[in-house]
Amino acid sequence: MNTAIALEALVTLPRGLVLTLALTFASLAAGFVISIPLSFLRASSNPWASAPVLAYTYAFRGTPLLVQLFLIYYGIGQLPLVRQSFLWPVMREPFWCAFVAFTLNSAAHTTEVLRGGIQAVPRGQVEAAKALGLSGFHTARLIVFPLTIRIALPAYVNEVVGMLKASSLASTITLLEITGLARQLVSETFAPYEVFIVAGGLYLLFTLLITQLFQVLELHWARARNPPPPARSL
């Protein structure tokens, strides 16, 4: 175990952090925003609403992210139609292609996660809201959605961690995030163990941070839902 190389890795690899975190959280945010309306469509009983969304999530959850990434970066980039359109300044850059691929993938997974949550919301809640005269939209926004988030939280944590790990695939289209920098360092130093272990350590650190954060969030919500019992008087 060459400590000099390990230290060099420790100094060099965090330079990829910015790109890793930017990709991860930008894709998660965009994916989440897209998946909100999609999940409601998917959970609806109307097949015309649910089927197209199902087709989308089925396609994106049933194929590897690597293939999707290459399709969007190399495949779409091949079309002269795209190269001459207004999209090109965006699609030209590997970062934005990765962003698009990760967002579409994340949205597909998140849609299914939220759908599970929506369908798990107790019927009584929805009926009560209807009885109170709330419109469909208000029921969704004020009652179903907050409950969905709480129910789906554990599954969503997996999605967040999954996206952090998926960001490593961006290294295959020349982006120098943590994994990309690690591969470059390994080819220079011929020390795969030291470099990849440090890289793994960095990912692990952020995975732990994320899971801790979500645990705090879950606890906070659980406490809000079940306030501690009042102190008993002797």
Partner 1 sequence: MRHALSNGAWLSITWRISELYGFLDQFVIGLKNTLLVFFLSCMLGTILGLLIAILRNSPRKSIAACMRAYTGVIRGVPELLIILLMYFGGTALLSAAVGRYIEINAFAAGVTALTVVFSGYAAEIFRGAINAVAPGQREAAIALGLSHWQIWFLIIVPQMIPIALPAFCNLCISLIKDTSLISVVGLTDVMRVAYIGAGSLRAPLPFYLAASAIYLTLTSLSLLSFRLIERRYALPLVKG
Partner 2 sequence: MKRTIALSLCALVICANNAGAMDRKILTIASEGASPPWNAINADGQLAGFDVDVGRDLCRRMNVECTFMPQDWDGIIPALTVGKFDAIMSGMAITEKRKKSIAFSTPYAGGFNQLVMRKDLALPATDTSSKLDLTSIDAEKQAVIDQLQGALTGKTLGVLRSSNSEAVLNELFGKVATIRSYDSQDNMHLDLVAERIDGGLADYFTWKTFLDSNDGGIAMLYGPQLSGGLWGPGVGVGLRQDDRELIAAFNSAIEAARQDGTLKRLSEQWFNIDVSPRVSN
Footprint of partner 2 (CB under 8 A): 74, 77-78, 83, 92, 94, 172, 174, 176, 180, 183-184, 186-188, 190
Residue type, 83: R
Give, for 129, the enclosing helix (H) or strand (E).
helix 123-131
192 binds partner 1 (CB under 8 A): yes
CB of 104 to partner 1, least distance (A): 13
* Closer of 41 and 182 to partner 1 (Cβ): 182
Sort residue 44 into left (φ over 0), alpha (ψ -120 to 50) or beta: beta
CA dist 83 and 129 (Å) reads: 50
Fill in the per-residue mask, 71 to 110: x = in contact with partner 1 (CB under 8 A), - = not in contact.
x--xxxxxxxx-xx--------------------------
Longest Cα pair distance anywhere in the chain, in angstroms?
81
- Please report whether residue 120 would count as binding partner 1 according to CB under 8 A: no
Q: How far is CA 27 from CA 14, 21, 35, 59, 211, in A?
A: 20, 10, 12, 18, 18
Choosing from 36, 207, 214, 217, the residue that interacts with partner 1 (CB under 8 A) is: 207
Here the tokens at position 45 are 């009983």
216 binds partner 1 (CB under 8 A): no
> Which spans of this chain sit near partner 1 (rule: CB under 8 A)?
58-59, 61-68, 70-71, 74-81, 83-84, 161, 164-169, 171-172, 179, 182-183, 186, 190-193, 196-197, 199-200, 203-204, 207-208
